């Protein structure tokens, strides 16, 4: 609970103070979180810029929070109301506090879910890579505190800000890093899903909906985000619970909420775009992906709105009546849609030309990316994302049905620029060979699929579902039947099934379940307890899966490449010949032989993201010669701990 309380204070109080001081009356949830996170980012970045240590950061950061809180409190004390004014009690026929009910429902659901199911800690999932980064920055913070040296971690773009935040919160709460996993997962999932709720209200605000309908659509958006958003069988809120992306999505929502209303309304307060720029810059440093999402969506929205605005002129042009087109140059060049379109198109074309000339393209990895000539044979050396591979992993059969229903109901969405831009985004990004070419000059093809997250399937699905329920409730017999069919379809397709002709394989429900104990660190809890009792940090030699877990959940380090790969620094321990005493160079290291297997991985079998038998760890220790060498050299292998097929040795070199 300490983690939740500290995170709640640090990531909402500064932002609440700022929006109160600046008089913001919109997006209060989104901005309070986003601005608080931005304050943390820029405080840490300032300390890094001046080459100061973690103690200096702590003083500076809490001083900033104290000043903001004090100024907000002073303003609150000095507030005045015009004579005769009354606080607004009712809005749209509902009580002033009616908005609290859905918030409490969402929070209660998330808390109940996580306390029943627990955090997603299946080995060897990405969460251990994130915990490894957290352990790394925790060592940096500890070293800075002890020696007074500056922080050494990456604090540029795509920096380790989230990992520092997790480490600082755990440190200030006196918590072991591994003990905060569940609390951090709850906090991140709650903040993200509440962000979806409030962002949905902004997106659907202009569709002439009653407040009651708007609330139900927003709740449905949270529901479908919880049960569908993700990739392959991996639920986003589970698999990426400790990734920088999950909280950075809320910053993306904040920027887009401001952009949506910027395009939507004739008059606009300049302070909102300024704050959007501030938040965008912070998101660029936390995790570049969501900053790129914001750029792309503004680009596509401006394109769509420009075409929509000048549709009549395009029609005249198509009909050969160009002389009938009347455009006032001054009015054209002062319109924000036109300006946004011209600036974004000019910028995109300029970036493409520069990149094409100056930056080499990264290698293409098939089948993730396929040649466009597979579809259109006359194109050469152009590529798009494979629609049947990672794109489908994100969309799934459920998303394909939502897309079909969206097309059938497109008139209802035509005036909603965000939803239209999002649903069209694949044709501007992953299925656009020129964007793919540009992307490959700055990144690798294995991450192009992430642009599929731009498609707002869950929001569109929420609208379709609530509309279907309304048909069931108040419609004619035909509409009731149609609504019932759509509602059943949108719920049933969340579940996996297989028939003779159709298979719905990529359901997120598998990873929304609790993790079996034999597939989690609980299987090796005694080893973890022993190692966490050793003061300081030791270097470890062990198999890559055990090393992956131990580096993430203890202070000790096992050298490997990213995840559990046997290359890039992995220390070999199986040799054909031990006569050269290959372990002598590792004096003081811990050598851990772990022959206690975990369970077979259903996730691995279905998703094929790792082998089904990845936790059959004893297979890594295939050398009988190793056992003979250890038993014949007790002076080199000092047994420190042993239990149920696990041995921990301290490596030593005998005195001559």
Residue 86 confidence (pLDDT): 46
Q: 159-163, 278-282, 592-596, 652-656: which has the minimum mean pLDDT?
A: 652-656
User: Quick one: what percent of the chain has pLDDT higher than 70?
Assistant: 93
| 0.85 surpassed by pTM | yes
State the average pLDDT for the chain.
91
The β-bridge relationship of strands 557-558 and 539-541 is parallel
- Is residue 334 packed enough to be buried (19+ CB in 10 Å), middle (13-18) or exposed (0-12)? exposed
Q: What is the pLDDT of residues 522-547, one digit of tens each?
A: 999 999 999 999 988 899 999 999 99
Strand partners, 590: 540, 650
Q: What is the DSSP letter of 380?
A: -
Q: What is the pLDDT of residues 280-333, one digit of tens each?
A: 999 999 999 999 999 999 999 999 999 998 876 666 666 666 656 666 675 666
Q: Higher model confidence: residue 429 or residue 146? A: 429
Q: Which of 190, 166, 208 is nearest to 112 (CA)?
A: 190
Average pLDDT value for residue range 337-348: 92
Residue 565 confidence (pLDDT): 72
- Does 494 score more than 90 pLDDT? yes
Q: What is the pLDDT of residues 363-388, one digit of tens each?
A: 998 889 999 999 999 999 999 999 99
- Any idea where the domains of the chain sit in the sequence? 2-76+98-286, 359-510, 517-651
Residue 82 confidence (pLDDT): 58
How far is residue 414's CA from residue 311's CA, in Å, rounded to a whole number? 13
Q: Which of 250, 287, 106, 240 is nearest to 508 (CA)?
A: 240
Q: 119-128, 138-147, 242-251, 466-475: which has the minimum mean pLDDT?
A: 138-147
Residue 324 confidence (pLDDT): 63
User: Quick one: what percent of the chain has pLDDT higher than 90?
Assistant: 79
Residue 636 · residue 578 · CB < 8 Å? no
> In sequence order, which residues have a C-beta less than 8 Å from that of residue 315 and are 6 or more positions away?
none
> In sequence order, which residues have a C-beta less than 8 Å from that of residue 553 and are 6 or more positions away?
128, 131, 177, 178, 521, 528, 532
Average pLDDT value for residue range 348-371: 93
Residue 38 · residue 62 · CB < 8 Å? no
Q: Higher model confidence: residue 32 or residue 88? A: 32
């Amino acid at each position: 609970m300490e983690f939740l309380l500290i995170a709640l204070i640090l990531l909402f109080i500064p932002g609440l103070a700022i929006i109160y001081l600046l008089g913001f009356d919109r997006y209060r949830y989104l901005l309070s979180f986003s601005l608080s996170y931005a304050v943390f980012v820029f405080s840490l970045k300032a300390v890094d810029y001046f080459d100061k240590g973690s103690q200096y950061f702590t003083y500076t950061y809490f001083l900033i929070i104290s000043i903001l809180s004090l100024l907000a409190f002073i303003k609150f004390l000095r507030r005045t109301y015009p004579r005769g004014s009354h606080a607004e009690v009712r809005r749209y026929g509902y009580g002033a506090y009616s908005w609290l009910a859905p918030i409490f429902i969402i929070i209660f659901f998330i808390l109940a879910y996580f306390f029943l199911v627990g955090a997603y800690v299946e080995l060897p999932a990405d969460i251990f890579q994130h915990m490894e980064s957290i352990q790394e920055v925790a060592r940096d913070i500890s070293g800075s505190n002890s020696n007074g040296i500056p922080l050494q971690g990456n604090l540029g773009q795509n920096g380790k800000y989230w990992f520092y935040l997790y480490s600082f919160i755990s440190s200030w709460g006196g918590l072991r890093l591994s003990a905060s996993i569940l609390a951090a997962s709850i906090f991140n999932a709650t903040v993200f899903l509440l962000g979806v709720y409030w962002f949905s209200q902004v997106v659907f605000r202009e569709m002439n909906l009653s407040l009651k309908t708007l609330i139900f659509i927003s709740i449905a958006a949270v529901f479908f985000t919880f049960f569908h958003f993700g990739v392959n069988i991996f639920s986003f809120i589970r698999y990426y619970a400790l990734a920088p992306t999950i909280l950075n999505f809320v910053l993306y929502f904040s920027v887009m909420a401001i952009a949506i209303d910027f395009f939507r309304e004739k008059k606009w307060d300049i302070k909102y775009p300024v704050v959007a720029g501030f938040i965008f810059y912070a998101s660029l440093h936390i995790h570049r992906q969501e900053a790129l999402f914001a750029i792309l969506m503004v680009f596509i929205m401006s394109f769509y709105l420009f075409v929509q605005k000048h549709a009549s002129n395009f029609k005249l042009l198509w009909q050969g009546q160009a002389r009938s087109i009347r455009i006032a140059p001054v009015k054209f060049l002062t319109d924000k849609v036109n300006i946004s379109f011209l600036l974004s198109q000019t910028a995109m074309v300029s970036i493409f030309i520069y990149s094409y000339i100056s930056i080499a393209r990264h290698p293409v990895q098939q089948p993730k990316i396929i040649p466009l000539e597979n579809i259109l044979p006359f194109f050469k050396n152009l590529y798009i994302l494979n629609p049947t591979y990672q794109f489908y992993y994100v969309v799934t059969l459920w998303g394909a049905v939502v897309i079909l229903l969206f097309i059938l109901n497109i008139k209802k969405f035509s005036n909603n620029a965000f939803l239209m831009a999002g649903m069209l985004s694949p044709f501007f990004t992953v299925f656009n060979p020129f964007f793919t070419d540009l992307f490959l000059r700055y990144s690798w093809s294995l991450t192009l699929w992430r642009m599929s997250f731009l498609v707002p399937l869950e929001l569109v699905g929420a609208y379709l579902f609530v509309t279907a329920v309304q048909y069931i409730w108040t419609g004619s017999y035909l509409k009731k039947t149609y609504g019932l069919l759509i509602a059943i379809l949108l719920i049933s397709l969340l579940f996996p099934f297989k028939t003779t002709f159709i298979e719905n394989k990529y359901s997120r429900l598998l990873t929304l379940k609790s993790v079996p104990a034999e597939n989690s660190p609980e299987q090796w809890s005694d080893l973890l307890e022993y190692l966490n009792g050793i003061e300081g940090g030791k270097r470890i030699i062990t198999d890559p899966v055990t090393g992956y877990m131990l580096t993430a959940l203890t202070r000790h380090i096992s050298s490997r490449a990213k995840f559990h790969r046997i290359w890039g620094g992995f220390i070999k321990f199986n040799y054909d010949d031990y006569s050269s005493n290959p372990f002598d160079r590792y004096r003081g290291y811990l050598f851990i032989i772990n022959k206690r297997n975990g369970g077979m991985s259903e996730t691995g079998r279905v998703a094929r993201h790792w082998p089904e038998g990845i936790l059959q760890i004893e297979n890594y220790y295939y050398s009988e010669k190793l056992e003979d060498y250890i038993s014949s050299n007790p002076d080199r292998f000092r047994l420190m701990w042993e239990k149920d097929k696990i041995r921990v040795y301290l490596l030593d070199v005998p005195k001559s």
